[in-house]
Amino acid sequence: MSRLTPPRLKNDCFALPPGVDWTPVDEALARLRAALHPVVGTQTLPLEAALGRVLAADQTARRANPPGANAAVDGYGFARDALGEGDATLPLLEGRAAAGAPFRGAVPPGHAIRILTGALIPDGVDTVVLEEDVTTDGHRVAFETGMRRGANTRAAGEDVAAGADILRAGCRLRPPDLALLAATGTAKVEVCHPLRIAVLSTGDELAGPGATDDPARTFDANRPMLLALARAWGATPVDLGHARDDRGAVRAALDRGAAEADLILTSGGASAGDEDHVSAILAAEGHLTSWRIALKPGRPLALAMWDGVPVMGLPGNPVAALVCALVFARPAVGVLSGEGWTEPFAVTVPAAFEKRKKPGRREFLRARLTGDGAAEVFASEGSGRISGLSWAQGLVELADGAAHIRPGDPVRYLPYAGFGF
């Protein structure tokens, strides 16, 4: 039976209520979260092909880990209750128990058997003495009897019991997750198809990196950055290239994006100026809601539907484009891909800077940690300073209200790794 594909988003899913103008970041995120749902289908893959994919269903252990009681060390196994007080000298049975080659008989009380790490515990054995703690002549073993019953053994299922819940739907599979699935008997998993993210740059002023010496042209930094983010987020990138400031070119790129992708990210042309053709064509021919976010850097964020596919229009400035992509596109991608809404990882660290902040907007500063764990920020807050994006290892988030941050004050630091790259 073929799998069902989730429905497309509604054309009015991004609409703001009447009277809403400036939208606080938290309100914008809440509205965005409420508007989205998964849009990808599912498939079944072998474990070796499932790295980075999103689980489509909860997973339970098909078998316990370990599946049977086994030895935790190389040594000698015996029944602890058969020993008396003081030192013990036990006769050795012929044969041994090894991992994958268990001893098939039973060990009588008062006897011992050679046992290796990982071997199933034979009948009649409940304790193992470490080989370094015995003296043997090949026929007998002698050791002190101070260990407890069950020493140096692992119980069946002591790690994971059969039937236990191990991974939840929405988990993006990492190498340790594949190890857990394999150890508990799962060979194939149902996963979501990768989200397809199309990326489009717009603007007559743009040129490919190194393509011209004309100082009036700007090298396109957004497209390689956003395509790389799509890959880092486990999506399949679709490069829509660069569209000049022409409605026909923009329309053709959006049509291709809607045909080949599940989400379209554009950069540039998202505001309301004479050359902002992305927002203009989305307003005229699509279903556009232009959100003015109380955010620095950022502000204009165009959210629209084009032929049933969501479009997120990011600012053209690369600093603002990255911040808006991390704050808004990253959690949106999580929902659309079946992973669920993702909150950025954040830690509270002391500030290694001073800043006075006016009220009214959420601010994100390019930052990295010093050797002693304090957050230092890039020397300039200018949104044109792309070098600060590379210099930084994360962002410092300053709340909406007024603030005077002094060195040593606690600040909220969001490492790039918490955004998935």
Query: How do the domains of the chain map onto residue ranges?
Result: 22-41+194-336, 45-51+55-65+158-192, 70-154, 347-419
User: Phi and psi of 52, rounded to 5°?
Assistant: 80, -5
Q: What is the mean pLDDT of residues 258-286?
A: 80
Q: Could you say which of 3.20.80.10, 3.40.980.10, 3.30.1330.30, 3.40.190.10 is the CATH number of the domain covering 22-41+194-336?
A: 3.40.980.10
**pLDDT at position 383:** 79
Q: Provide the phi-psi class of 97: left if phi over 0, else alpha when psi is between -120 and 50, else beta.
A: beta
331-359 confidence digits (pLDDT tens)? 999 999 999 999 999 999 999 999 999 99
42-67: pLDDT as tens digits = 999 999 999 999 999 999 999 999 99
The DSSP annotation for 104-151 comes to -SB--TT-EEEE-TTPBPPBT--EEEEGGG-EE-SSEEEE---SPTTT
Mean predicted lDDT score pLDDT of the chain? 92
Nearest CA-CA partner of 66 in 167, 189, 161:
161
pLDDT band at 4 (very low <50, low <70, confident <90, very high): low
Q: If you average pLDDT over residues 75-95, what whole number do you get?
A: 94
Instruction: Report the share of the chain in percent with pLDDT over 70.
Output: 94
Using the 8-state DSSP alphabet, how is residue 47 labeled? Answer: G
pLDDT over 80 (residue 274)? no
CATH assignment of 347-419, among 3.40.50.1110, 2.60.40.1180, 2.40.340.10, 3.90.1150.10: 2.40.340.10
Torsion angles phi and psi, residue 125, rounded to 5: -115, 135
- Domain 70-154's class? mainly beta
pLDDT of residue 384: 80
**Which position has the higher pLDDT, 150 or 17?**
150
pLDDT tens per residue, range 323-335: 999 999 999 999 9
**For position 268, what pLDDT does the model report?**
83
**Percent of the chain scoring above 90 in pLDDT:** 77
List the alpha helices (DSSP H) in 222-297: 222-232, 247-260, 277-285
Average pLDDT of 19-31? 82
pLDDT digits (tens, 9 = 90+) for 282-322: 888 888 877 788 999 987 788 889 999 999 999 989 999 99
pLDDT reading at 1 higher than 50:
no
pLDDT at 3 over 70: no
pLDDT in tens, 104-148: 999 999 999 999 999 999 999 999 999 999 999 999 999 998 899
User: Quick one: CATH architecture of 45-51+55-65+158-192?
Assistant: Alpha-Beta Complex (3.90)
Task: Please confirm whether the linkage preceding 318 is cis (ω < 30° from 0).
Answer: no
